[in-house]
């Protein structure tokens, strides 16, 4: 049904939950703005104007209280659609379950599940509901945990046209981002992109937009801007439920049409059509780029690098030959000359990763950062750290360097070598701090070790996957206590020596052979 103006929402219920003031976390005013934008979107005619009586607002609750009960009671009233939206801090408890934070949610994993709303509670409310379509939209860190091995949203028996749809701003164990408060009207990136896509529509798309139509545009926009890639999970027929009217023109653009319209149509085709249609899509981007459209120039650069083709095929990008590299550089340069903030970010990446020119990479990252590109700012900080420490900023594998370089001393082990049985007993006692979960212990140790080594674009970034894995194994062998994990990671990095991490990794690899 696409005639949203006449849709009856009296048998549907939406629960909107958001928290932006906290005791243990930093306050996030951007969350409050995103929450209110989502509320306004549901009552906008583009979504058929959900009536106020069909929307339950759980905004900025200081404590959990009766939230779980209210959620169940609300969804018991729904027979058509049950929609749950949360924006705020997400955190996982000692059993790696996603919890949605309220004002007094504790960061101590022993209290997380007792003071936050577990997604299992949301799932229980969905299970209790007889709604034909069940939708969860999660804009929080670790949102991907919502689909991890804990069952389905659907009840045992459902009407023929039924299903569940989970839309997540990040994967499991990945953070979600928000704009800095220096940005006027700062919001969370995911909700901002979601609302903007719905309000602007999808050029060339159908008259009614499903979450699948919306997700494709939102995901590619966030990835292109250097944000975390969102995820989704679909059950049964939920992908066919129309959420909003398409505000964009239904027909593909005519020759000579507005460049922005041509770009959006090319972008839609890129997300929906096969790689065999790429020449047509590239021609559309080129037409818009020749009219001065900077985002189209960036897409042509991505095509030249092979990134768009790889994404359409679901594979990793391969090596780039010199002619294609030059073509990408030219398109990104044109976008930068047009004042675009993304073009210089791509140029910085090319000069850092392809041309091995750190000075030029700094120049372009700095330009993009001054134009408000947060991803460029992060890369700039990391690259400057590596330059300051005198680290080789190229991506050259460790075994390709001169063997005449002295091998650094390894950090002294925290404990003497014991028999295998005693060592395993100590390891199991250490894992008890993580409720016996080795994946959780490894994930948290990697997270703090990465931060201690300068972040994702600092000194850690110069290591390849094998080197990173070997350093992590070496750190785990010290059995760092969970209570002092950050301190242990800093001590480890200081013992290795800032600027010597790659040499240390090379020594570990040689010792393992």
Task: Report pLDDT digits (tens) over 19-66.
Answer: 999 999 989 999 999 999 999 999 988 898 899 999 999 999 999 999
- What does the pLDDT average to over 127-134? 92
Residue 237: the pLDDT is: 65
pLDDT class for 3, splitting at 50, 70, 90?
low
Range of the domain at 280: 259-388
- Separation between Cα atoms, residue 511 and residue 513, nearest integer Å: 6
Q: Rounding to the nearest 10 degrees, give the CA dihedral for residues 447, 450, 452, 455.
A: -110
Residue 56: the pLDDT is: 96
pLDDT class for 499, splitting at 50, 70, 90?
confident
Q: CA-CA distances (angstroms) from residue 252 to 43, 312, 396?
A: 29, 21, 46
CATH of the domain at 217: 3.40.50.1460
Residue 236: the pLDDT is: 65
Which one of 218, 245, 272 terminates a domain?
245
User: What does the pLDDT look like over 232-270, one tens digit per residue?
Assistant: 888 766 777 889 988 875 434 444 568 888 888 888 888
251 within a domain of the structure (yes/no)? no
b/e burial code for range 336-356 (CB count within 10 A of at least 16 → b) = beeebbbbbbbbbbbbbebee
- Name, of 70-84, 358-372, 408-422, 450-464, the range with top average pLDDT: 70-84
- Do residue 237 and residue 295 come from a single domain? no
pLDDT class for 5, splitting at 50, 70, 90?
low
- Do residue 290 and residue 429 come from a single domain? no
In this predicted structure, the answer to whether residue 444 has a pLDDT above a threshold of 90 is no
Q: What percent of the chain clears pLDDT 70, i.e. is strictly above it?
A: 87
395 within a domain of the structure (yes/no)? no
Better pLDDT: 499 or 4: 499
483 within a domain of the structure (yes/no)? yes
- Do residue 470 and residue 432 come from a single domain? yes
427 within a domain of the structure (yes/no)? yes
- Do residue 263 and residue 375 come from a single domain? yes
Q: What percent of the chain clears pLDDT 90, i.e. is strictly above it?
A: 38
- Do residue 280 and residue 318 come from a single domain? yes
In this predicted structure, the answer to whether residue 153 has a pLDDT above a threshold of 50 is no
- Do residue 285 and residue 231 come from a single domain? no
- Separation between Cα atoms, residue 34 and residue 482, nearest integer Å: 34
Domain count, the chain: 3
In this predicted structure, the answer to whether residue 401 has a pLDDT above a threshold of 80 is no
Residue 488: the pLDDT is: 87
Residues 6+ apart with CB under 8 A from 396: 356
407 within a domain of the structure (yes/no)? no
Which one of 245, 275, 290 terminates a domain?
245
- What does the pLDDT average to over 7-30? 94
Residues 6+ apart with CB under 8 A from 262: 253, 284, 287, 288, 293, 296
In this predicted structure, the answer to whether residue 180 has a pLDDT above a threshold of 80 is yes
pLDDT class for 420, splitting at 50, 70, 90?
low
- What does the pLDDT average to over 275-289? 84
- Do residue 265 and residue 241 come from a single domain? no
- Do residue 427 and residue 297 come from a single domain? no
- Do residue 265 and residue 239 come from a single domain? no
Residue 394: the pLDDT is: 58
Residue 304: the pLDDT is: 93
- Name, of 231-235, 255-259, 393-397, 401-405, the range with top average pLDDT: 231-235
- Do residue 85 and residue 156 come from a single domain? yes
- Separation between Cα atoms, residue 98 and residue 231, nearest integer Å: 15
- Do residue 365 and residue 419 come from a single domain? no
345 within a domain of the structure (yes/no)? yes
21 within a domain of the structure (yes/no)? yes
Which one of 212, 245, 278 terminates a domain?
245
- Do residue 168 and residue 110 come from a single domain? yes
398 within a domain of the structure (yes/no)? no
pLDDT class for 421, splitting at 50, 70, 90?
low
Average pLDDT over the chain, rounded to an integer = 84
Residue 101: the pLDDT is: 96
Residue 418: the pLDDT is: 42
């Amino acid at each position: 049904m696409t005639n949203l103006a006449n849709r009856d929402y009296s048998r549907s219920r939406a629960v909107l939950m958001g928290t932006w003031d906290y005791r243990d976390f930093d306050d996030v005013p951007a969350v409050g703005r995103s929450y209110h934008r989502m509320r306004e979107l549901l009552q906008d005619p583009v979504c058929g104007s959900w009536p106020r009586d069909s929307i339950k607002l759980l905004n900025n609750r200081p404590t959990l209280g009766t939230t779980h009960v209210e959620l169940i009671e609300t969804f018991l009233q729904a027979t058509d659609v049950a929609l749950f939206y949360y924006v705020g801090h997400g955190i996982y408890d000692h059993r790696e379950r996603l919890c949605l934070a309220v004002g007094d949610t504790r960061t101590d994993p022993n209290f997380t599940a007792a003071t936050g709303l577990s997604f299992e509670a949301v799932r229980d409310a969905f299970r209790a509901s007889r709604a034909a379509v069940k939708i969860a939209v999660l804009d929080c860190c670790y949102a991907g945990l919502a689909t991890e091995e804990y069952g389905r949203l659907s009840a045992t028996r459902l009407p023929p046209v039924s299903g569940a749809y989970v839309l997540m701003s990040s994967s499991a164990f990945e953070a979600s981002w928000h704009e800095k408060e220096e940005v006027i009207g700062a919001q969370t990136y995911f909700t901002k992109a979601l609302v903007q896509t719905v309000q602007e529509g999808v050029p060339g798309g159908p008259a009614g937009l499903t979450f699948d139509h919306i997700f494709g545009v939102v995901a590619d926009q966030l990835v292109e801007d250097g944000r975390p890639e969102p995820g989704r999970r679909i059950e049964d027929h939920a992908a066919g439920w129309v959420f909003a009217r398409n505000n964009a023109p239904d027909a593909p653009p005519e020759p000579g049409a507005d460049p922005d319209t041509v770009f959006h149509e090319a972008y839609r085709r890129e997300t929906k059509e096969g790689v065999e249609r790429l020449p047509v899509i590239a021609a559309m981007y080129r037409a818009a780029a020749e009219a001065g459209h900077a985002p189209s120039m960036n897409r042509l650069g991505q095509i030249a690098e092979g990134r768009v083709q790889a994404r359409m095929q679901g594979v990793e990008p391969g090596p780039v030959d010199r002619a294609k590299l030059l073509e990408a550089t030219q398109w990104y340069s044109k976008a930068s000359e047009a004042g675009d903030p993304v073009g210089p970010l791509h140029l910085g990446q090319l000069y850092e990763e392809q041309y091995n020119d750190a000075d030029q990479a700094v120049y372009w990252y700095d330009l993009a950062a001054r134009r408000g590109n947060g991803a460029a700012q992060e890369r700039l900080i990391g690259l400057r750290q590596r330059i300051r420490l005198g680290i080789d900023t190229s991506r050259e594998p460790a075994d390709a360097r001169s063997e005449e370089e002295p091998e650094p001393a390894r950090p002294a082990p925290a404990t003497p070598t014991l028999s295998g049985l005693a060592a395993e007993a100590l390891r199991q006692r250490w894992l008890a701090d993580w409720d016996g979960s080795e994946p959780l212990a490894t994930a948290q140790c990697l997270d703090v070790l990465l931060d201690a080594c300068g972040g994702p674009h600092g000194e850690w970034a110069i290591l390849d996957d094998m080197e990173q894995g070997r350093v992590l194994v070496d750190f785990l062998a010290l059995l760092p206590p969970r209570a002092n994990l950050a301190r242990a990671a800093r001590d480890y990095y200081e013992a290795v020596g800032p600027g010597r991490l790659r040499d240390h990794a090379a020594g570990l690899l040689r010792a393992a052979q």
